[in-house]
Amino acid sequence: MIYAFICTRSKKLNETATKLSRYLSSASISVKFLVNQNSIFSGYSKAFISNDIKDDDIVILCHDDIEILTDKSLFLEILVNNCLKSSVGFVGVAGTKKLTQNAIWWNPDVWREGKHSGVVWHGTDALHPDLTYYGHYGQVVVMDGLFLAASGRTLKKVSLEKPDYLHGDWDFYDLHYTLTAHKKGLKNLVVPICILHNSKGELVGRDGWDENRKLFIQKHNLPIELQNGN
């Protein structure tokens, strides 16, 4: 079984969220919109528990302002062929092989080093999107929360609950989840799923984001870099 857990502010879905739901549902994915949650951590965790996720189920955690442009059969093939491998942690569309001391995964200096991975389209018009090419697909240390997918087995190992060291309820969940998987010896993979994001996702300067970033830095011994494919 494949599930999609999507946090959203209102029961009345906008056009993009409606289109996303229609795409996922037509691929026989069980779509769960988590409305007006107090925390993205608790929203995901409660949905995971209430749906009695099995080890070989796949769970998608994604934003409500995206369109998936990949053909549905190919999309499902990518998810199943990657997520269900016991060695795999998370599957996503953008991330980095090197997380520096500032804990900003899209660090432009690292980008110039060729350490980033993935492709994301931005905009509201699928016919005229702005392309952001991060780098070749492959294994990374951490990934962006725009779109993540993992097996139930992986999510049980990682835990979707908010960790004690983070205070904010909405930020750095993606880096926490994916870095936890990496530290447990699982491979996080950026794969060729085509996503159109209606937002640039620029959070720098937001109080909650910056607070959790500082706490994340205090908790983890950065930088962390992928070494020899591990």
DSSP 11: S
pLDDT at res. 166? 95
pLDDT at res. 128? 85
pLDDT digits (tens, 9 = 90+) for 154-203: 999 999 999 999 999 999 999 999 999 999 999 999 999 999 999 765 55
DSSP 106: T
d(CA 107, CA 84): 30
For the residues 78-98, what does the mean pLDDT come to? 98
pLDDT digits (tens, 9 = 90+) for 145-164: 999 999 999 999 999 999 99
Chain-centroid distance of CA 124 in Å reads 20
The amino acid present at 209, given as its one-letter code, is: W
For the residues 200-228, what does the mean pLDDT come to? 82
E strands, the chain, in order: 2-8, 30-35, 58-62, 66-68, 88-92, 94-96, 98-99, 116-122, 130-135, 138-140, 142-143, 147-151, 187-190, 195-197, 224-225
Q: Is the pLDDT of residue 119 over 80?
A: yes
Report all structural domains of the chain as residue ranges with CATH numbers, in order of start: 2-225 (3.90.550.10)
Its pTM stands at: 0.94
